[in-house]
Structure 1
Amino acid sequence: MSALKDRLRADLTTAIKARDEVRSSTLRMLLAAITNAEVAGKSPVQLSDDDVIGVLSTEAKKRREAATAFADGGRDEMAAKERAELGVIEDYLPAQLSAEEITEIVTRAVEETGAAGEGMRAMGKVMGVVQPQVKGKADGGVVAAEVRRQLAG
């Protein structure tokens, strides 16, 4: 059983008792997404904390993209709602890596794989080393951009 999932359930109860609408609706949505991930395969599985963090990261990314889309469309009220939900989700995600930390991880991975002179052909090899280190701690697009930048340079 996932300790993070248990924490989400306990926090949902607290949020409902406190009548915190945003927090309780966001936590309900997260628990539904986790349940969907558990029953999505051929047979139901119990997600580990790492798997739950993966689900939360996906949901956080959806909120970021939706907030940007609403803001671009002039729907500030909806953008604010998405950002509020994102704030709740981020409480359960590991601390995000800074740009410097991402650069350092990618630099080490390029050295480890010996991909320095290979250019973009080595993208998959480098991402394979970097991904486990940044999972749930950094946006994949930012990491991929940094890998591209270092391989191109």
Structure 2
Amino acid sequence: MIRDSIKAAQIAAMKAGDKPRLGALRLMLAKLKDRDIELRTAAQVPDDDTLVVEVLQKMAKQRRESIQLFEEGGRAERAAEERAELAVIEEFLPAQMGEDETMAAIAAIKAETGAASLKDMGKVMAELKARHGSQLDMSKASGLVKAALA
């Protein structure tokens, strides 16, 4: 399980004295614990790896946005810190689909659902997320779906 590998990496970082990596790993585990607490009252709880991937994808997206904002603001040192955190987060995410693979998946779903216009974008996006949600950056996929249906 991904959560166990994050905990093992935390222990290894402690032993190695790698403070930046340890900080990122602790942050990841804290976010996971927050999410676990949120889900205590939920009727349906997703399996653990799905939950971990969702949390890590959200964290990665936040880091990418922060990097962009720090670079625009001339804060290169903060952008470098965020890049280091992003690298640690991405270690634990499943391999992401490339643009060609994503386009092939979109074409297959488009053919199956009979989607022909932008009105069908919701159907295609829902099916794409159901099948490949953990392997895609859905914001990039959204642009590709829109282009495919236009």
Tell me the residue number matched to 1:115. Answer: 115
Tell me the residue number matched to 1:105. Answer: 105
Q: Deviations over 1:45-92 (max 9, x none)?
A: 685111101111110111111011101110000000000100001100
Alpha-carbon offset, residue 43 of structure 1: 2.6
CA change 1:129–1:47 in 2 (3 A) is closer
Q: In proportion to residue count, which structure has more helix? A: 2
Where do 4+ consecutive residues of structure 1 move more than 3 Å?
Answer: 44-47
Uncovered stretches (5+) of structure 2, i.e. residues with no partner = none
Uncovered stretches (5+) of structure 1, i.e. residues with no partner = none
How far apart, in 2, do the equivalents of 1:19 and 1:67 lie? 25
Worse-matched range after superposition: 9-18 or 130-139? 130-139
Alpha-carbon offset, residue 4 of structure 1: 1.2
Matches within 5 A, 1:11-50: 11-41=9-39, 43=41, 48-50=48-50
Alpha-carbon offset, residue 21 of structure 1: 1.1
Worse-matched range after superposition: 44-53 or 107-116? 44-53
How far apart, in 2, do the equivalents of 1:88 and 1:74 lie? 23
RMSD: 1.5
How far apart, in 1, do the equivalents of 2:132 and 2:20 lie? 28
Q: Which AA in structure 2 matches 1:148?
A: K
Q: Deviations over 1:10-37 (max 9, x none)?
A: 1101101101111100000000000000
Tell me the residue number matched to 2:142. Answer: 144
User: What TM-score results when the alignment is normalised by the length of structure 1?
Assistant: 0.91
